[in-house]
Structure 1
Amino acid sequence: MLSNSVLQRLASWCPWLLSQLRDEPKLKQPVKVLVTGAAGQIGYAIVAMIARGLMLGPDQPVVLHVLDIPRMADALNGVRMELVDAALPLLRGVVATSDEAEAFQGVNFAVLIGGWPRKDGMERKDLIAKNVAIYKSQASALQQQAAPNCKVLVVANPANTNALMLKEFAPAVPAKNITCLTRLDHNRALGQIAERLGVHVADVRNVVVWGNHSSTQFPDASHATARTEHGEKPVTELVADEKWLREEFVSTVQQRGAAVIKARKQSSSLSAASAACDHMRDWILGTPKGTWVSMGVYSDGSYGVPEGIFYSFPVTCEKGEWSIVQGLHVDDFARSKMDLSANELDEERSMAYEFVNT
């Protein structure tokens, strides 16, 4: 360790060398990150996570663009004020606006949380119609204003079909750059297995969530493994209870969002924000070797899933690109569950296209 006097002399000769000796991190050039629906609960939870480096890494400064509807302008300004007050070292600026063109201007990453929420008595078709209009408008801003190769995560429900509409209305944006959030379901599945086995959640990997971010999704533990004191073993072997894996585990993950609402009288916010950070971090920075995650991506026909829908697959990521994991065995039970979710997405697509030209 060099003494303070030596460091001071070095600083007078070469400030850059001093920074290297102190192991100060080299920061990248700032990037622009958009969060829509930023005055809502998930948006409020995620903005500080992003500005603390939980999404893009501790060496990546960010300029946050936060968007919400005009009637939420005061709350949105409150979010902006709190971001300033938090004195976050990676935060290089905040653009708070209700104007979509301004919000999307030059953004490198977009997390689309804003959407029309489902209300009591609302039919699914009505919900889809409301969100088609929202994502038609946002798609136009994305295509015209965002930076080239902007990567987009759709969180707002119905997430898979909202992502499809974004793609439909922004044809110049590559389909591979648009994804939707099923990482929350993936994380829920990891959590349930970890609790069942009494291990840390970090010791469980390679569950799969197939399909729609809805109650038809299929959480699949048949390819998962867990590390124990005896080494890494298949979850199916460690649980040794096929009934639990096919019934209680699946239904618990499928209904977890409803259970959270019942418990806290509000929808999942903290876990959704955390999952969105996980999704983007792995997409941009890469998945750990030997590990896959679940992402809603545009189907290429893998595993017999129809093309032309956004469907949750197991994926690995490297250098900012995702790839669907190939060659996993799908038994008859899994096939039936996967097809059920694909059929629901096909129905949603048909409903959505009724409103494309309106």
Structure 2
Amino acid sequence: MNFTFLNDTYGESVVLAMGGGVVGCLFGFFAQRSRFCLRAAVIEFWHRQFGEKLSVWLLTFATAVIAIQSLIVVGALDVSSARQLATRGSLSGALIGGLLFGAGMVMTRGCASRLLVLSATGNLRALLSGLIFAVTAQSSLSGALSPWRERLSAMWTVDAGPSRDVLALLGWTHTTGLWIGVLWLLAALYFTTRTTQRTWMWLGGIGTGLSVALAWWWSFQVAHASFEVVPLQGITFSGPSADWLMRVIAPNPPGLNFDFGLLPGVFLGAFVSAWWGRELTLEGFKDGYSMRRYIGGAVLMGFGAMLAGGCAVGAGVTGGAIFALTAWLALAGMWMGAGLMDRWLDAPPRSAPMLVQP
């Protein structure tokens, strides 16, 4: 594909938006088919029920790592200028934000990407939660919650460059990163032996991971073929959600970029997948408690994602696959926060003590 021709003909912003739409469609389709969800994987892990949901997440993550590191090794991708590596980061923000995001995704029963995918299938709970997530993310970025985000982020920071790169910190090469991805894939293979429904688990998990790699590759190719400064972008849902909110309500909305096409693409891909699988159905809240739970979780996710520098996909997979230190910390925080919140909210009650007969 000739990106120089595309840039000259349509302009970089349009080419990025087109790429976002294509990548989004692929991500939405495969994520809906495979039921890709970090929250579900974490629940299986903490409950020691290593099954399909954990296998799908591991397949996605392993595929993304292998594909991205392979592209870097062969010289088809350079992520050194990516935001997750090239700017000053916050270790405190990554860890605290990850904990909050993990707790929130248990409350809403889905991470940010899962909420968007479920919205496309007719889940009104996910739609409302997604809207609140977007409002909170925008407030955390430049609104009433931004001072809190800035204070927490400033507690423990890390310099840009090698200090944010796990591979560089350990003295490893991208070839080593590739082999780490292979190890993750072997772990995914092991857990797939515990499941029976494997076709879409495999296709969906691998397809979702490849779409993450495709996002990095597309934005790099546009930037490489341009005389202008074009930032590298991967798949994430916190920033794009806030941007789309401003496009709807602000007098001077953000312009065209990769994120412009991403969210509509994910929605369309998930809708097509659900329609094809005959899974379109309207779902709402059952009671007031459920509604409060989802709203509270969406607020925690919106603030946590902006504090951590990304959502479960943006930090957990997109940033984790390029071995950004803050992304791995955020991902660890998400697993911990989700496990603790699940234990608090959804753990089955302990059996009542047996009565001793007189």
TM over 0.5: no
- TM-score category, normalised to shorter length: under 0.3
Q: Which has the higher contact order (CA 8 A, sep 6+)?
A: 2
TM-score for both structures, normalised by structure 1: 0.23
More helix by share: 2
More strand by share: 1
TM-score for both structures, normalised by structure 2: 0.23
